[in-house]
Amino acid sequence: MPKVTLNTLASRKAAGEKFTCLTAYDATVAHLLDEQGVEVLLVGDSLGMVMQGKDSTVHVSMDDIEYHTRCVSRGVKDTMIMSDMPFMSASTEEKALENATRLMQAGAEIVKIEGDRWLLPAVKTMAERGIPVCVHLGLLPQLVSILGGYKVQGRDVEQATAMIQLAKEMEQAGAVMLLLECVPSDLARELTQTVSIPVIGIGAGKDTDAQVLVTQDMLNLTPGRKAKFVRNFMEGASSVQDAVGRFVSAVKSGEYPAPEHSY
Ligand code: KIV
């Protein structure tokens, strides 16, 4: 696979070709995912649960994401690295700029930020200064206390309309990508068609431009109950490499996510 850039992802959207994203927190897994042709690796704040055994992403620090971004960057060749801005790391424009700079210098090529309306100025400031930003909409795990749990977002018309409006404003502010978590498939389809930037989905149905999963979830390593949108790609696979290859093929062919993984 040639080096993945923002242009690669924009061309995929324009051509109607799906791309893939999986989480990575270390060099070994990053290398494996890169070899299997995963276009984007997410150094997600899910590392709080997956790597650190914590009960939410709220406890993850800038030092944590910076450290794991450095680890991942040593394992990849062609894949694009996207790193999460952790809880409150963008609570002011100055903090957003300073913290995003730390992640870019650690090896990130794009930063992801869980965004509500108040983040528009920070997105604009980062974009104007050359930091590529992906805005995470829908279910925002960092705000789980306010949302009252990990629930599907945008179910009523008012919420859905507001989310599409916010997506448009984030694009206008300079966001180069969106990530949509746990929203009804119809809303995800409409939002993906409305914006011209690529949209990655998780629990958002089959019509987003790309799909992301936590790698440990799709390899069936995560203990406990799985979210509805998770498929166990180890089932029938001969190795971890084979399971990741099956995820890539299933996303590209449109076979995953199926209706049973969607809301
Ligand atoms: O932190 C993470 O892994 C994420 C994904 C669930 C999209 O944000």
Residue among 92, 87, 150 nearest 113 (CA): 87
pLDDT band at 1 (very low <50, low <70, confident <90, very high): confident
Per-residue CA distances from 190 to 107, 108, 195, 213 (Å) = 33, 29, 9, 21
- Report pLDDT for 146: 84
* Ligand 1 center from residue 182 Cα (angstroms): 11
Average pLDDT over residues 33-51: 98
The full set of domains in the chain, from first to last, is 6-261 (3.20.20.60)
- Amino acid at residue number 147: L
- Amino acid at residue number 66: E
pLDDT band at 144 (very low <50, low <70, confident <90, very high): confident
- Amino acid at residue number 235: E
Q: Is pLDDT at 171 greater than 90 in this prediction? A: yes
Tokens of 100: 């995003």
- Report pLDDT for 148: 83
> Is residue 135 within 6 Å of ligand 1 at its C-beta?
no
Q: Are the C-beta atoms of residues 82 and 134 closer than 8 Å to each other?
A: yes
Q: Does residue 66 have an active-site annotation?
A: no
pLDDT band at 41 (very low <50, low <70, confident <90, very high): very high
* Ligand 1 center from residue 47 Cα (angstroms): 9
Residue of 57, 111, 137 to mutate, ligand 1, most atoms within 8 A of C-beta: 57
pTM of the model: 0.97
> Is residue 50 within 6 Å of ligand 1 at its C-beta?
no
Of 169, 181, 190, 260, the catalytic one is 181
